[in-house]
Structure 1
Amino acid sequence: MNIELQLTKVHSKENAQLIAIHVGNNAQRFEELMQLFFHKKYRISQRAAHAVSHCVDKHPNLLKPYINQMIDHLKSDPEVAIKRNTVRLLQKQDIPEESQGLLLDKCFEYLSSPSETTAVKAFSMTIAYNLTKLYPELESELKIVIEDLIQYATPGVVNRAKKILADLG
């Protein structure tokens, strides 16, 4: 299968799943898909991000070699679909120490932005919470940000915020 060609055919869950089945646990095919994830054309990267999500749901270890690159890519302020899929995927990964600071900064930025989407905020909250397990001194800062966020957040964000606040004490 030519993955890029397949991505141009249609944007659908079924197509993303078809590509994920083709990729399977094959690191070379996943590398090809990840190159498309970082593609300059938004439509290609958006559709590749959807397929990457399906691949990583089944084979989480495939993402490990790309975690730093994905975090670095957040500095370019990618389109919302790329940002959403990136933070969604990273919330379940072990973040390399050299990228933890940048990722945490981006998560706090997303949580503090009134224009950020619900999904990006929810996933960012989980990432920040996961990182406070490594850096407990950040718990109070995260609590403050979450308490401010709850005042104007959507029900999905409020639900996740309450769970994290309960875990933080």
Structure 2
Amino acid sequence: MDLKSAILEKHSKEQTDKIVRYVGHDKTRFNALMKIFLEGDKLLQQRAGWPLSYCAQAHPALAQPHLGKLLKLLERKDVHNAVTRNIVRLLQDVTIPPRYQGQVMNICFDFIADPQQLAAVKAFSLTILEHLADSYPDIIPELKLIIEERWPQETPAFHSRARKILKKYK
């Protein structure tokens, strides 16, 4: 399969699943998909993000070597929201090495506190912060405070994830 052609052919769940099945747990294919995501034009980046995040969910270890580059991309303000959403989606399932944990926490706190941020990005960020709070319990009070402050303005997706966190850290 030519990944670029497959990504551009059709943007659908069916096509995403086809790409995910093709990549599977193959490191070379995953790296090729990652290269398209990191280096492709804006349209390729947007479309490659969906299958990339699903591949990383199924095989988190494949994404591990690329975390530094993904975080650099995540911090840029000029990327399409699909890029941000799919990076944050895959970070939920990847074990974040200690050297990146502080950076990821800062990014996720910024996302959940931003009234303009997409609901999915906030929901995924809450999950990431919940995972990191197990290793860094000092972030729990700040996490709870932001959840409580943002609650009235937030979406059902935010409420669902936030409710779970508040219950866990009563």
Is the TM-score greater than 0.5?
A: yes
Displacement of 1:124 in angstroms is: 0.5
2-structure distance, mates of 1:53, 1:79: 15
Matches within 5 A, 1:24-39: 24-39=24-39
Displacement of 1:76 in angstroms is: 1.1
Deviations 1:39-63 (A, max 9, x none): 3412101111111123223322221
For structure 1, which segment, 55-64 or 19-28, has the greater mean C-alpha deviation from structure 2 after superposition?
Answer: 55-64
Partner of residue 121, structure 1: 122
Give the share of equivalent positions with the same residue, in percent. 36
Partner of residue 16, structure 1: 16
Partner of residue 62, structure 1: 62
Partner of 2:131, secondary structure, is: helix
1-structure distance, mates of 2:26, 2:40: 24
Displacement of 1:145 in angstroms is: 0.7
Name stretches of at least 5 consecutive residues in structure 1 with no aligned partner: none
Deviations 1:54-108 (A, max 9, x none): 3223322221211222122211132111111111110122111111111111111
Q: Which runs of 4+ in 1 moved over 4 A?
A: none
Deviations 1:101-151 (A, max 9, x none): 111111111111111111000110111121111111111111111111112
2-structure distance, mates of 1:37, 1:31: 10
Alpha-carbon RMSD: 1.3
For structure 1, which segment, 120-129 or 54-63, has the greater mean C-alpha deviation from structure 2 after superposition?
Answer: 54-63
TM-score (ref. length: structure 2) = 0.93
Partner of residue 159, structure 2: 158
Aligned length in residues: 169
Matched, 1:111 2:121: no
For structure 1, which segment, 105-114 or 64-73, has the greater mean C-alpha deviation from structure 2 after superposition?
Answer: 64-73
For structure 1, which segment, 141-150 or 46-55, has the greater mean C-alpha deviation from structure 2 after superposition?
Answer: 46-55
